[in-house]
Amino acid sequence: MAATTGDSNKLQVLVPGDIGFIGSHCIIELINAGYEPIVVDNLSNFSIVCLQRVEQIVGCRIINYKIDCLDLEGLRDIFKKHSTYAIMNFAAWKSVDESVEKPVLYYKNNVGYLLNLLTVLFVFFFKPINHDFLTIVYGSPKYLSFDEKHPYIGDSITNPYGKSKYICEHILKDTTIAYPN
């Protein structure tokens, strides 16, 4: 997957996992809102054809890199190349059944990529973060609908996919405290 030249006047938003289900919708919305998405995906769950379809919808080429977020140097190179305004992250594996069969791979991918992303952000470029929560990390609900005040009930999460996200929430929470806006 070759990178294309972007429009340097637009704010660039790095979007790991952008060829996936949610990310591909996000690219379209970003372009419609006047931003320039920088796609980073290892194509582990989708083919490049999905990005080509999005390009047909928006009518322009999209800057993209076939990079695994577990590749720290690869991520660092992208940050060096682009003055990233923000990151919207969607890179993860999400199959509950597969996570039960392959827990180590799920923890490695879903927690490992986040540690790499945060390493690049804070160690090399120092940028503040905000993050949104994922409902699965709250376990069995004490009340509905969820809000961010709901306590985490980690032990009631039944599968490695959810637990990997639970670990990520703690990493993000601790990082937000250590590096406030």
Q: Binding residues for ligand NAD, per CB under 6 A?
A: 16-17, 19-23, 41-46, 68-70, 90-94, 109, 113, 134
Residue nearest ligand NAD, Cβ-based: 20
Closest approach, Cβ 142 to ligand NAD, in A, equals 20
3-state helix, strand, coil in the chain (%, to 5): 50, 10, 40
Using the minimum distance from each CB to ligand NAD, give the nearer residue, 7 or 147.
147
Closest approach, Cβ 9 to ligand NAD, in A, equals 27
Could you confirm whether 161 is annotated as catalytic? yes
CA atoms within 13 A on the CB side of 6: 23
Using the minimum distance from each CB to ligand NAD, give the nearer residue, 92 or 180.
92
Active-site residue among 107, 161, 166, 179? 161
Which residues, including other chains, have CB under 8 Å from residue 5's CB and lie 6 or more apart? 63
Closest approach, Cβ 45 to ligand NAD, in A, equals 4
Partners of 64 in beta bridges: 39
Whole-Å CA distances, 24 to 30, 58, 122, 174 = 10, 11, 27, 29
Tell me the catalytic residues.
Answer: 161
